[in-house]
Amino acid sequence: MNKTKGWMEAEISKALTKWEKDYLGRGSVSVKTDILRDLIIVSLQGILSAAEYALCETMEGLLSVKRNRTSLVESGVEDLKAIIQEITGEQVKNFYTDLSTRTGERIMVFRLCDDLEKKWANSEPQT
């Protein structure tokens, strides 16, 4: 099967939603994945619970939620890297993530060892 960019983006979104539910106990409301050169950028919307939003009303609570959520994701980073490698066939060089406690959005960025878009461009048949 020829793995297209759109197919990979959809598969990554599905796999990360499943990982969130299995590993963190609840998933995001929506997930959007974009592949750009050697980057995979994932936007996860609606990841905070009502209780976490309430905690975020104070600076101490906000920092606590951000720290705890980041620690949870970082503890599963090897699983996340394995998911990306299984879908794309590429190794992950670096992983970055941040969470907005105001909007409940998490951004994940996976930096790959190789440029996926360049590989697709080189594998297209020349006419």
Q: What is the mean pLDDT of residues 65-92?
A: 94
pLDDT in tens, 98-121: 999 889 899 999 999 999 888 777
Residue 103, Cβ density class (10 Å: 0-12 exposed, 13-18 middle, ≥19 buried): exposed
pTM assigned to the model: 0.88
pLDDT in tens, 16-69: 999 988 888 877 889 999 999 999 999 999 988 889 999 999 999 999 999 998
CA pair distance 105, 50, nearest whole angstrom: 14
Instruction: Please tell me the predicted confidence (pLDDT) of residue 111.
Output: 98
124 band by pLDDT with thresholds 50, 70 and 90: low
**Backbone dihedral angles phi then psi of residue 112, each to the nearest 5 degrees:** -90, 160
127 band by pLDDT with thresholds 50, 70 and 90: very low
All domains of the chain, ordered by start, with CATH?
A: 5-123 (3.30.980)
Q: What is the number of other CB atoms lying within 10 angstroms of the CB of residue 28?
A: 22
**Backbone dihedral angles phi then psi of residue 96, each to the nearest 5 degrees:** -130, 145
pLDDT surpassing 60 at residue 122: yes
Residue 60, Cβ density class (10 Å: 0-12 exposed, 13-18 middle, ≥19 buried): exposed
